Structure 1
Amino acid sequence: MTSATDFRRTTFLSVLGKGDDVNKPATTPAEPDHAPAAVARLRRRALRLVIAGLVLFIAAWGMVGFVRYRDADLLKTESRTHGVVFAMIVSGKFESIGIEYYTDNGVRRLEFVDVDDAGAYHENDPVTVIYDPADPTRIRTEADPELPGLVRTVTVVSTFLTIILVLSGLIGTSRWRRRSAAARAEPWRAGTATLARSSAGKARTKLRVRFQTEEQDYRTTAPVMLPIPPALFDRDEVKVWINGTGDAVTVMFEYGPFLVAAKRT
């Protein structure tokens, strides 16, 4: 192995379930020399998840603030006129209506606005239009929602993704921060492990590791980002390296290689 980048499952995309490279054939023999750097990389990845979640949250609610600012600015113009509905459009969760109206200087306009329920409108229904005289394409009706449907959907989805990213990142940061110091300061003990599913749940794996002079039992921590590859459960023994003690153990698998967090049982 030449660097920590030879370890599998350390990229930002792998934690999102994309680009899992754990089953790719290794080009060089696995050795624990670069394992401390790989643990540090996992810690940095977790921190990036937190940052990505916060950036996404700020961007989504920044968009909400911008839309509300534009809407408040539009309402200040007080340019109102009568309009007529000429079309109703429903595309998935997004609904809009087409409005025909005339500006104060008599120019005919055909514009679309988002609505909560396009089915509540009918062709030739009258509506009151509020528009910007400097930009007649900016319109809304008195009955419009405060936020367009697309903005609300993006905000809800972004908030949901933020929760997932931040929680995953915080768990990962706590998990690998405790193991990072041990990875640098303590030796990596070579051994062979037999794997079994834990009764505590499919996400956890029990490992019985045989060293030169003793055997020890471990269990992977949960929740996990990615499960142990199924191919390892079909093997009688798997070569591993163990680092750390107690509740802060790191297991390096020769297969891959990749790292998992575990604790002594």
Structure 2
Amino acid sequence: MRWTARWWLVAAVLGMLVFAVLLAGTAWSLLYPRYVLEDGELAADIAILAGSLSLAVFGISRAGRLERRVSVREDGRWLPPRGKYDGKAAFDLDAEIRRLRGTGLRAWGFAGCRLVVLVGCVVGINRMESSAETLLATGARTAGEVLSVDDPLDRRGASSMRVRYVAGGTSRIAEIVRKSGRNYSPGESVTVVYDPADPDDVRTTEEQNDNQALVGIYLVPMLLALLGLPSAAVAAVGWRRRRREVRRTGWRAAAVTVVPDPAPRKTRGPDILVRYRDGSGICLSQTWSTRGCAVLKDAPAWVGGTGRDMVVLFPHGRWRRRPNAMPAVAQGERVQRWFTLVR
């Protein structure tokens, strides 16, 4: 993939992230009854949503168009001419091209699930904060006394304090999470705000006292979705391009040798040395995918696509007749003599 197409793809991913985050914020502002929209705020949000979504769609379309212009002229750089053995296999090669469509749809499904999780977690965190603000505005107030202050030495837990207060004529003790940065000491007086219908729902005028279990439930999936959404979107777009390229080029019979990445941190996928039937060869590497492969040597396979949009069909084992489609990227152009790859 050329740099121009790559940057369009990066712009598309950024547009999707802006759309997801702003969509969550706009949904919260519309659902939260105490939030008052300023003049023109909703129109501006809608405009940004439309612009970011348009950027994502246009970036994906533009990247694919640029790739198509290049690949049509350069098939010979990656694949040899069709031979009489290329169409022979124990399974339907044309059906495998159609199956790539389902793989792409599943990748879009994973991206959509991450988007839903991201939006849901942002809305949940906003609703939790709005509940604390509502309690501060409508809750009953009473005098409280700090009994003890807890500051975890390892900084893994949240700082908190134990507060005694009276609600409905009953003395109660609550543990309140501290996030304001203010220092407290035992015996200090604080103003406690509680819900008369549920006296255990409590905060102070300074401390919001978020439920840490809910914070973890929302925050961890939100971060995972935020980190995984770009890669899922890129994978979905990549499968769409690969299906288009393989449908155009067809498959080439080959023998492949899989060499794992020697780097301890696995900076890239394993090397795949491909030897075509005409004696030429090419070196590929696996892109990030759940569709991996074991270490193989001179295993029969079929290769299709061009450049950064290639697919390798591996035999899936003795008991499963359908092969495994693995996404791959060419590390260089095809060479006429395969043995030059293994020197």
Q: Same fold (TM over 0.5)?
A: yes
* CA gap 1:215/1:65 in 2 versus in 1, 3 angstroms: same
What residue is the counterpart of 2:227 in the other structure? 164
Secondary structure of 1:58's aligned partner: helix
Alignment-mate amino acid for residue 304 of structure 2: N
Secondary structure of 2:295's aligned partner: helix
Q: Which has the higher strand share?
A: 1
Secondary structure of 2:206's aligned partner: coil
What runs of 5+ residues in structure 1 fail to find an aligned partner? 1-28
**Equivalent in 283, 303, 310 of residue 249 of structure 1:** 310
TM-score, normalised to structure 2, is: 0.57
Structure 1 residues 201-210 or 116-125, which shifts more? 116-125
Q: State yes or no: 1:215 paired with 2:280.
A: yes
Q: State yes or no: 1:240 paired with 2:301.
A: yes
Distance of 1:83 and 1:106 partners within structure 2? 13
What residue is the counterpart of 2:47 in the other structure? none
Distance of 1:83 and 1:199 partners within structure 2? 62
Q: Which has the higher helix share?
A: 2
Q: State yes or no: 1:63 paired with 2:127.
A: no
How much does 1:220 deviate?
Answer: 2.5
How much does 1:251 deviate?
Answer: 0.6
How much does 1:241 deviate?
Answer: 0.8
What are the superposed Cα offsets for residues 64-97 of structure 1, whole Å, 9 maximum, x if unpaired? 2211221222122252111123355578423433
* CA gap 1:211/1:229 in 2 versus in 1, 3 angstroms: closer
Alignment-mate amino acid for residue 36 of structure 1: I
**Equivalent in 133, 136, 153 of residue 199 of structure 2:** 136
What residue is the counterpart of 1:189 in the other structure? 252
What are the superposed Cα offsets for residues 79-124 of structure 1, whole Å, 9 maximum, x if unpaired? 2111123355578423433322112x42322333222399954443
Q: State yes or no: 1:174 paired with 2:237.
A: yes
Alignment-mate amino acid for residue 31 of structure 1: F
TM-score, normalised to structure 1, is: 0.71
Distance of 1:203 and 1:66 partners within structure 2? 41
* CA gap 1:241/1:119 in 2 versus in 1, 3 angstroms: same
Residues 312 and 325 of structure 2 are in contact (CA less than 8 Å); yes or no, is this contact kept in structure 1?
yes
Alignment-mate amino acid for residue 127 of structure 1: V
**Equivalent in 63, 84, 102 of residue 166 of structure 2:** 102
Alignment-mate amino acid for residue 241 of structure 1: W
Distance of 2:232 and 2:291 partners within structure 1? 17
Residues 32 and 188 of structure 1 are in contact (CA less than 8 Å); yes or no, is this contact kept in structure 2?
no
Alignment-mate amino acid for residue 230 of structure 2: L
* CA gap 1:193/1:78 in 2 versus in 1, 3 angstroms: closer
* CA gap 1:253/1:142 in 2 versus in 1, 3 angstroms: same
Alignment-mate amino acid for residue 56 of structure 1: V
Percent identity between the two aligned chains = 23
* CA gap 1:64/1:228 in 2 versus in 1, 3 angstroms: closer
Matches within 5 A, 1:8-19: none
Alignment-mate amino acid for residue 93 of structure 1: G
What runs of 5+ residues in structure 2 fail to find an aligned partner? 1-88, 318-322, 334-343
What residue is the counterpart of 1:259 in the other structure? 325
Secondary structure of 1:94's aligned partner: coil
Residues 259 and 295 of structure 2 are in contact (CA less than 8 Å); yes or no, is this contact kept in structure 1?
no
What are the superposed Cα offsets for residues 119-141 of structure 1, whole Å, 9 maximum, x if unpaired? 95444332210112232122101
Secondary structure of 1:203's aligned partner: coil
What residue is the counterpart of 2:136 in the other structure? 75
Matched residues, number? 232
Q: State yes or no: 1:115 paired with 2:172.
A: no
Distance of 2:262 and 2:305 partners within structure 1? 24
Distance of 1:168 and 1:31 partners within structure 2? 31
Residues 177 and 209 of structure 2 are in contact (CA less than 8 Å); yes or no, is this contact kept in structure 1?
no
* CA gap 1:176/1:187 in 2 versus in 1, 3 angstroms: same
Q: State yes or no: 1:85 paired with 2:171.
A: no
Secondary structure of 1:56's aligned partner: helix
Distance of 1:75 and 1:117 partners within structure 2? 15
Distance of 1:180 and 1:140 partners within structure 2? 56
